Structure 1
Amino acid sequence: MHCISEILSFADKYRDVNPDRILLGKNFIPHELRKAVALQVELRRKLQHKLPSWAESHVYIPSKLALEQSSSMTIAKYKTRFVGEKDVVADLTGGLGVDLYYLSRATSEMCYYCEKQEQLAEAAKFNYNLLCQDRIPHVFCGDSLSMLDDLISKGVSLIYVDPARRAGIAGGKEYERKYAIRDCQPDVCKLIPLLPQNGSVRLLIKLSPMLDIKDTLLSVGVASEMHIISQKGELKELLLYCDMSKEISWEQVPITVVDLATANQFIFTLEEEQNAKYQLAEHIAQYLYTPNAGIMKSGGFKSLAIRLGLQILHPNTHIFTSNCLCDKFPGRVLKVHEIIPFHNKNFKALKSSVKAANVFCRNFKLTTNQLRDKLKMKEAETPYVIGLKAMGDEQFIVVAIPV
């Protein structure tokens, strides 16, 4: 690997130059360094947004993919709630090293970074020396599972792992299986039996939001908590926390749904959801509520409705309603302006009164694009025009405005 310090020195000198000109134009950068220098300049703005303190320290980013797959500062800091002051933390899938950096700041003990790819391990070692004034994590390059016994002998009490989705080939075509935890590498279902079962070593697993929640809890078997993390309406991560000393059935594992932009959180269990006796709405009331991405992923619709005193329009529509405003709802809150049964004769009046709108459909006979085309409406932030199924199987168009 080329000298990282030299690459960063050139990147700082040419920070205002277009990356394409760095690659192809005339400059004093050695030809073999140009690609790496251009990459640092290109990623600087994205790094500033995602990891501002890292950007200020002029860290080295070995690849676009490494930055894309890393946690943001906000999400990495969220994970520190699982770290005790005396925990010794090991990251078995180090990557760029962002998660371990923040986890290590929450403990007074030494921490360990493991990564198979030499390029990533070298970058992490360099960056930790820039970022950490003391207790610089130990960096190991190699197969982390082969180091597991040694890490446990060093007193590791919390293991963090971010399994990668495993690619495969079927019918001559490449594909990625995204829906089962056993399809990820390393397979945490094989990792768990290798750990002490007395709770002396806990496990924190970052999972793709594509994974099925029930299947994941059933497959792991020893989960203590699940966290569904979204930010600004976008689903980001699933986190699974496992303390092998606690016996919790998968139906009773607390599921925390949190949006980091609002700090709004909702906690429920699959058992609570299964047994929830919710109330179906007899009509569309004054307010509508559409859940955020985390609630949609969790499937905790009935539990949420009961907890907040809301009625459900239809079991499969996932929109709530009430006459009294609920300002603690984790999602979008709308005030109903007009309710139109879905009949063609009513469209003419709606098309003439609303020229542009934010159109979407839930459990409706048309897709969002089909409804927008039928109404001949341009896109706009507000008002909302919603196609939905409610009371029984009746279809409605609702015009609403944000609260």
Structure 2
Amino acid sequence: MGNTKIKDKEIQNYIDANLHADLHALLLKKSPFPAVSMQEIVQQIKGKQTAHKKFPFLLKEGIIFPPQLNLEQSSSEVTALYKSQILKGKTFIDLTSGFGIDAYYLSQNFEEVTLVEQNSGLLKIVEHNWTILNRKATFIHQNLEDFLKINKEHFDVIYLDPARRDQNKNKVFLLEDLSPDILQIKEKLLMTADEVVIKLSPLIDLKYLISVLPDIFRIEIIAVKNEVKEAVIFLSNEEREEITVNCINLESGESAFTFTFGEEESAQAEYSEPGKFIYIPNNSILKAGVFNLISERFGLKKLHPNTHLYTSDQKVTDFPGRVLEMETVESKQIKKKEQFNIISKNYPLKPEDIKKKYGIKDGGENYLIFTQSKKGKIILKSV
């Protein structure tokens, strides 16, 4: 676990007293504690700062934090809590435990929990923290491929979060480029558990996923405050008729949008020029690419085949995204130094270019949308 002295009360008080200190300046100072380096102290400060934003449940006395990279790679408390509501059973195993945030939440509805992690120092930190949190688990220090080769036990649920960077630390997205290679170990995973749950990059292409993994029966696209954070896939040996996709925008108050791929393939969008209200789907739905189904499901008209904005004259109140009351304006009606939030959709200029061209200030409560309908380029302004 590294230096166990970091847990001493006096050192923890010093860490708490410096939570808002300049960390670069702090690193240049000599540690006031002979047994603990300033680098170790700053690591704990960074950990507590991250926990405040990302996993506040860890802000307890005695909790130890790992290096910054492990913190960055961890799921947030809000996404882990959401996923935990989907899974339940008797036996759960996380094959890529990391800092254990997902494991802590996802395993809450299981009787027996196993964590596998190849980084021994990180695993010891997690084991220590789980003791503080009064959570029990079997902790196994091993590479997951080696574990799968010798394991004889069957689990209700396997969870894994593959590394999404190559040896040069560049981001990778194809399943065969991840570590581990999902396509190579897929059969072994499905022999080892009834259900396999894999966290993937939010940038991954859903149609590609379905083409290479026919065992998928569910996909969760998880956004937090309209930023897509994760795509989570669920695999099983059981045959299912349709793949269910659930788009959720946490901390937004919006309802989840659930569909099957068959629904989107058969959906037909209707088109019209802008009406009184303009609808912008949240990013989890845009990621899913259900552009025709949105039109059909909510009775909305689309502006253009390549403009993912929708319109109506009567307001739809349960729409999962932003609803703006707008009117069409001419460019000459835009006054210099006016303040607007600028949106550019299917339009040749980016928001920065639009601001420069029209001398507009960014921000405020009103919106300008530069877009395209079937009749051509249009500008929409908040009413």
Q: What band does the TM-score fall into relative to the shorter chain?
A: over 0.9
8 Å CA contact 2:48–2:65 kept in 1: the answer is no
In 1, the alpha carbon distance for the partners of 2:67 and 2:321 equals 35
Question: Is the partner of 1:201 in helix, strand or coil?
Answer: strand
Deviation at 1:382, TM superposition (A): 2.2
SS at match of 1:365: coil
**Among candidates 334, 347, 359, match of residue 364 of structure 1:** 347
Asked whether 1:244 is paired with 2:270, we answer no
Equivalent of 1:177 in 160, 172, 176: 172
Letter in 2 for 1:71: S
Contact between 2:201 and 2:231, CA under 8 Å: does it hold in 1?
A: yes
Q: Deviation of residue 175 (structure 1)?
A: 3.5
1:236 & 1:8 partners in 2: Cα distance?
Answer: 36
Note if 1:60 corresponds to 2:64.
yes
- Corresponding residue number in structure 1 for 2:160: 161
Measured after TM superposition, the shift of residue 25 of structure 1 is: 2.6
8 Å CA contact 1:57, 1:131 repeated in 2: no
Instruction: State the partner residue of 1:315.
Output: 305
The equivalent residue for 2:16 is: 15
- Counterpart mapping for 1:2-401 below 5 A: 2-7=2-7, 9=9, 10-17=11-18, 18=21, 19-20=23-24, 22-30=26-34, 32-84=36-88, 86-107=89-110, 109-133=111-135, 136-148=136-148, 150-151=150-151, 153-167=152-166, 175-178=170-173, 180-196=174-190, 201-248=194-241, 252-261=242-251, 262-281=253-272, 283-336=273-326, 338-340=327-329, 346-351=330-335, 355-392=338-375, 394-400=376-382
- What is the TM-score normalised by the length of structure 1? 0.88
- Whether contact under 8 Å (1:92, 1:145) holds in the other structure is no
C-alpha distance after superposition, 1:297-348 (max 9, x if no partner): 1101111211111111111110000011111111111001x312xxxxx433
What secondary structure, in the 3-state scheme, does the structure 1 residue paired with 2:16 have?
Answer: coil
**Residue correspondences, number:** 378
Amino acid at match of 1:380: G
**Structure 2: stretches of 5+ with no match in the other structure:** none
Displacement of 1:31: 6.6
Deviation (angstroms), 1:196:
4.7
RMSD of the TM alignment (CA)?
A: 2.1
Amino acid at match of 2:257: F
Shift of residue 275, structure 1, vs aligned partner: 1.4
TM-score, normalisation: structure 2: 0.92
CA contact (8 A) 2:163 2:178 kept: yes
Give structure 1 regions of 4+ aligned residues with deviation exceeding 4 angstroms.
Answer: none
Tell me the distance in 1 between the aligned counterparts of 2:303 and 2:157: 44
Query: Aligned partners of 1:399 and 1:263: how far apart in 2?
Result: 24
Letter in 1 for 2:226: G
* More off after superposition, 61-70 vs 160-169: 160-169
Deviation string 1:57-99 (CA, Å, 9 cap, x unpaired) is 4421111111111111121111123322x42111111100111
